[in-house]
Amino acid sequence: MTKNTKILNIIYGLTVIFFLLDSLIIFEIKSQNIKSFVYFGFLIQTPLILIWNFIFIEVKTKKIIGAIFPMIMIAFILVVGQTKIVFSTGAWQTQTILYQNKYLSFKTVEFQMQNVGALGYNQRTVEVFYLTPFFMITKNVLTDIDKKTEWVKVDKNINELGLKY
C-alpha cells in the first residue's frame, strides 16, 4: 500500500468517525464549517475511496479489505438516504444561555436553534458540556433544573454576553 493511499484512508477514517459520533451519539460538532466538511466529505469521499482502493492497491487481499469498509458506508448512505444526511448538516446554534454551572464554566443549559433550510428551524433546550469551542456533549435537561444548587440562572441572549459559542 502506498503512502498516499494510507494517508487518504486515514483521512477518510477520521471523517467517518466524526460523522458517526455526531450523528449517532450525544457528541456534537458545534462549528458549522467543520460539520459541513465532515458530512459532505463523508458523502463524497466514500465512493472515491472505494474506487481509489480498487485502483491503487496491488495485493488482492488488501484490495478486498480496503473495499469492505467503504462498501459498508455506501450501504449505510443508501439506507439512510443522501438527502437526509445533507439536511442534517446544520449545526445547533446557541440563542440563549439559561443557566451556568457554578463549578464548571464550560457547562451550561442553553436554548438552541438549528436551521433546516426551507423547513424552518428546530428548537431545543439542552445541558451542554463544551469539550472545545468546536465540539460539545449534550444531554436533555431535567425539568427541575432550577431547583438544583449547582446551576445559576443567567437567562441572557448570546449576543448580550459577547460570547462566541
Q: Which residue has the cell 446557541?
A: 94
CA distance linking residue 57 with residue 66, whole number of Å: 8
Burial (Cβ within 10 Å: 0-12, 13-18, ≥19) of residue 108? buried
Q: Which of 42-46, 64-68, 149-153, 161-165 has the lowest mean pLDDT?
A: 161-165
How many Å apart are CA 62 and CA 58, to the nearest integer? 8
Nearest to 98 by CA among 35, 32, 142: 142
**Whole-number average pLDDT of the chain:** 87
- Confidence band, pLDDT 50/70/90 cuts, at residue 165: very low
Per-residue pLDDT of 119-141, as tens digits, reads 788 899 999 999 998 999 999 88
When pLDDT is averaged across residues 72-80 and rounded to a whole number, the result is 94
Task: Give, in degrees to the nearest 5, the angle at Cα 44 between 40 and 49.
Answer: 135
The residue that leads in pLDDT, 33 or 66, is 33
